[in-house]
């Protein structure tokens, strides 16, 4: 049961929610076994922007697209930003890529070879410059660095190298930019990853400087990890920079956010909402990082944005006064029930109403099907080469 006042308060915050979509999710993707090509896939970063703009047009809450460099490299980044603006969106986080070059076999900024470290650091600095050119305030760093065998390299020396590089980058960023350091517990290395977990990222961020924060990719944890606990601690420390939302069944599956475990997504958003992290200006980046291997990309992205929005709406409907009372009284079952009441609320009609208030179609997926956009891109995007993960 939802009382009108609670919903009105929730709706205020939901109007301001912003979810960034990743450029790479619009390209072809697959597994190491097969990439299935789809019709209508973008052939350049401009067409990726068109797709992201469509997602924003229909959802109203996805007004930016993250770039991955060099996958999204163009001659003139100012022109790319101008093009995005004309389509109604902005360019968001800049994701450097220091994992797809032969030089990075033994790592990028943690590589034992100082020349390779310089090359990687230069690329990070180039991404800072691209960010400055396009008006982005986020440098989102994920490193594939690590080792495969005990004794392969010195673990502490690698942490020192990591610090030296990221400190240099941090200190050369414009003051309004933040460096988000993403962690991942495995892959592509299996003995050590240099940033395997939130603790390592947090410790590095503390030493790097005040504009360094942790990025939580929901797919980058061992099964059973309590992600909302990590979120709560980072929020408390003021070092939660943002998210890469996606779903996983096993590991870094990168399925649609909210598909495999909507309750897990809700629990994360409950922690964020409780700490004021949904307030405008809270500075937490809500980004998606996923690939659509079987399903059509644009509607899958719309679905994912809506899934995050639904989880957020439910989190905002938690009766916090009742929860606090139950918690203070040691009422275990009562407290849990307050949370489950919110989770079990069907927020879809409420969100449809919110969209109507904003002048949007109440059902973005149906609107997409009616729009003819899919047919148009399949018709028009012929010739040239389709973009894909890693290109």
289 is a contact residue toward Mn ion (CB under 5 A): yes
Contacts (Cβ under 8 Å, ≥6 apart) of 245 = 19, 218, 257, 258, 265, 286, 287, 288, 289, 290, 304, 308
Cβ closer to Mn ion: 123 or 184? 184
* In the complex, minimum distance from the CB of residue 106 to ligand PSV, in angstroms, rounded to a whole number: 18
56 is a contact residue toward Mn ion (CB under 5 A): no
Closest CB to ligand PSV belongs to which residue?
142
Q: Alpha-carbon distance 139 to 212, whole Å?
A: 10
Cβ closer to ligand PSV: 143 or 315? 143
For residue 153, give the H/E element and its range. none
Q: Which residues of 225-242 are buried (b: 16+ CB within 10 A; e: fewer)?
A: eebbebbbbbbeeebbbb
Cβ closer to ligand PSV: 111 or 140? 140
First and final CA of the chain: distance in angstroms?
48
* In the complex, minimum distance from the CB of residue 66 to ligand PSV, in angstroms, rounded to a whole number: 9
Q: Which does 337 bind (CB under 5 to 8 A by kind): Mn ion, ligand PSV, none?
A: none
Cβ closer to ligand PSV: 215 or 323? 215
The count of residues interacting with ligand PSV (CB under 6 A) is: 9
Q: Which does 197 bind (CB under 5 to 8 A by kind): ligand PSV, Mn ion, none?
A: none
- Token pair, residue 274, equals 């409780």
Site for Mn ion (CB under 5 A): which residue of 56, 68, 244, 303? Answer: 244
Q: Which does 194 bind (CB under 5 to 8 A by kind): Mn ion, ligand PSV, none?
A: none
Q: Pairing between strand 212-217 and 240-245?
A: parallel
Cβ closer to ligand PSV: 29 or 87? 29
Q: Alpha-carbon distance 24 to 386, whole Å?
A: 12
- Token pair, residue 225, equals 């990890």
For residue 160, give the H/E element and its range. helix 155-172
Q: Pairing between strand 138-141 and 178-182?
A: parallel
Q: Which does 343 bind (CB under 5 to 8 A by kind): Mn ion, ligand PSV, none?
A: none
* In the complex, minimum distance from the CB of residue 219 to ligand PSV, in angstroms, rounded to a whole number: 7
Q: Alpha-carbon distance 133 to 115, whole Å?
A: 27
Site for ligand PSV (CB under 6 A): which residue of 57, 182, 197, 285? Answer: 182
189: left (phi over 0), alpha (psi -120 to 50) or beta: beta
Cβ closer to ligand PSV: 291 or 316? 291
Q: Pairing between strand 212-217 and 178-182?
A: parallel
252 is a contact residue toward ligand PSV (CB under 6 A): yes
* In the complex, minimum distance from the CB of residue 202 to ligand PSV, in angstroms, rounded to a whole number: 17
Q: Which of residues 102-161 bind ligand PSV (CB under 6 A)?
A: 142
Contacts (Cβ under 8 Å, ≥6 apart) of 357 = 11
Binding string, residues 164-203; x marks residues near Mn ion by CB under 5 A: ----------------------------------------
Residues at the contact surface with ligand PSV, assessed by CB under 6 A: 24, 95, 142, 182, 184, 217, 244, 252, 289
Residues at the contact surface with Mn ion, assessed by CB under 5 A: 217, 244, 289
């Amino acid at each position: 049961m939802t009382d009108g006042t609670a919903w009105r308060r929730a709706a205020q915050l939901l109007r301001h929610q912003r979810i960034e979509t990743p450029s790479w999710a619009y390209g072809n993707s697959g597994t190491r076994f097969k990439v299935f090509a789809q019709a209508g896939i973008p052939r350049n970063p401009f067409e990726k922007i068109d797709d992201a703009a469509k997602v924003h047009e229909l959802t109203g809450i996805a007004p930016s697209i993250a770039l991955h460099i060099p996958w999204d490299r163009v001659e003139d980044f100012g022109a790319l930003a101008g093009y995005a603006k004309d389509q109604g969106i902005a360019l968001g986080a800049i994701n450097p890529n220091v994992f797809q070059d032969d030089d990075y076999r033994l790592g990028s900024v943690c590589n034992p070879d100082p020349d390779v470290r310089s090359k990687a650091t230069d690329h990070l600095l180039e991404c800072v410059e691209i960010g400055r050119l396009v008006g982005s305030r986020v440098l989102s760093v994920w490193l594939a660095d690590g080792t495969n065998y005990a004794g392969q390299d010195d673990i502490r020396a690698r942490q020192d190298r990591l610090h030296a590089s990221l400190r240099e980058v941090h200190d050369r960023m414009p003051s309004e930019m933040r460096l988000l350091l993403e962690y991942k517990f495995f892959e592509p290395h299996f003995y050590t990853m240099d940033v395997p977990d939130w603790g390592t990222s947090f410790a590095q961020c503390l030493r790097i400087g005040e504009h360094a924060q942790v990025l939580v990719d929901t797919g980058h944890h061992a099964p059973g990890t309590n992600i909302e606990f990590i979120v709560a601690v980072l929020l408390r420390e003021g070092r939660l920079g943002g998210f890469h939302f996606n779903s996983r069944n096993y590991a870094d599956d990168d399925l649609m956010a909210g598909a495999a475990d909507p309750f897990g997504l809700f629990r994360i958003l409950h922690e964020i909402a409780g700490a004021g992290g949904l307030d405008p200006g809270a500075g937490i980046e809500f980004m998606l990082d996923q690939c659509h291997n079987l399903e059509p990309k644009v509607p899958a992205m719309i679905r994912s944005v809506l899934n995050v929005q639904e989880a957020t709406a439910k989190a905002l409907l938690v009766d916090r006064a009742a929860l606090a009372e139950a918690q203070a009284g040691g009422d275990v079952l009562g407290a849990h029930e307050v949370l489950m009441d919110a989770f079990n609320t069907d927020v879809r009609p409420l969100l449809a109403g919110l969209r109507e208030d904003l002048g949007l179609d109440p059902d973005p997926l149906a609107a997409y099907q009616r729009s003819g956009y899919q047919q148009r891109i399949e018709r028009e995007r012929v010739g040239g080469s389709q973009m894909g993960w890693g290109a």
